[in-house]
Amino acid sequence: MNLDTSFYSWQLVTNYLARGLAFSLKLTACATLLGTLLGVCLAIARISKIDTLRRLASAYINTMRAVPLVMLILWFYLLVPLFIGRPIGAEMAAYFTFSLFESAFFAEIIRSGIQALPRGQSMAGLALGMSYRQTLRYVILPQAFRHTTPILLTQVIVLFQDTSLVYAIGAYDWLKGFEIAGKNFGRPIETYLLAAACYFAVCYALSRLVFNLKTRLAVSSEL
């Protein structure tokens, strides 16, 4: 096979790839932030004393985890306009869907972090006269976050890879940038190979970062 890489250039990056990468990063950042916020609420609801709340939260989490993300993106893009009476852009639909979708995954990770804490921690908090809310806020959640940060970050890497699924609604993400360049230059194979290399570089660098963080956190928690 002879590859034609003559079109690999700085122009390719500035003209086609930069815009897509920016959107992929924005989407990842937004979904991480909103997903974590919503995820904490869901995790707390999932272990709440109130039966209905617990059931609702676990129903939400289980549904989100059983539906392919592509379907969810398509749903959101199609359904929300029916409810609010006007169409929403592909990018907006992506921000919403990814935040809602990731919140289910983050919720489960955070819940496992909370449940992994020794029961004595919450008892001690309550014994000190803190309220339920204060115990969560000052004792439980900080520790749970600390323990689950590496897993959360690993999920963020998966999320970054998943942003490529917005092709279904035609949003312009990083992979789309590669695809369009491939079409307009007529060299799809070369651009897909380049895409693989670029995604690998980013995700591998991130996963090394997470690995280092994990070792650091592990050491400091043993002290």
Partner 1 sequence: MRTIIMVSLFFCLAQLSYAAQTESPTLNKIRETGTITLGVRDSSGALSFTQGYGQYDGYHVEICRHIASDIQVKLGLRKLTTKYIAVSSQNRISLVQNGTIDLECGSTTNTLARQRDVAFAHTAFIEEVRIAVKRGSGISSIADLRGKTVVSTTGSQPVQILRAQARRQNINFNGIYGKDHADSFLLLESGRADAFVMDASILAGNIANARDPRAFVIVGEPLSLEPIAIMLRRDDPTFKELVDHSLDQLMTQGALPALWDKWFLKPIPPSGRVMGLALSEATKAAWESPNDRPAEEYRRFHIETPSSTHQGLDLGIFCRGIVTGQSIPNCLSKDDFGGDTTYLHWLLSAWRWTLVVAGIGFLVALSIGLPVGALRTIVRNRWLAGALSAFVEVFRNIPILVQVFIWYFVVPSLLASFKSLPAYLVVSLALGLFTAARVSEQVRAGILAIPKGQFQAAKALGLTTLQSYRYVLLPVALRTIIPPLTSEAMNIIKNSAVAFAVSVPELTMFAMQAQEETARGIEIYAAVTLIYVLSALVVNRVMTYMEAKAKIPGTNHNHTEVPLVKAGPQ
Site for partner 1, residues 67 to 126, rule: CB under 8 A: 67-71, 74-75, 77-79, 81-82, 86-92, 95-96, 114-119, 121-122, 126
Q: Shortest Cβ distance from residue 137 to partner 1 (Å)? A: 13
183 is an interface residue for partner 1 by CB under 8 A: yes
Question: Considering only 3-11, 145-153, 214-222, which stretch makes contact with partner 1 by CB under 8 A?
Answer: 3-11
Size of the site for partner 1 (CB under 8 A): 87
28 near 160, Cβ under 8 Å? Answer: yes
Task: Report the residue from 8, 19, 56, 153 that binds partner 1 according to the rule CB under 8 A.
Answer: 19
What part of residues 138-177 is at the interface with partner 1 (CB under 8 A)? Answer: 140, 157, 161-162, 164-165, 167-170, 172, 175-176
Does residue number 134 form part of the binding site for partner 1 (CB under 8 A)? Answer: no
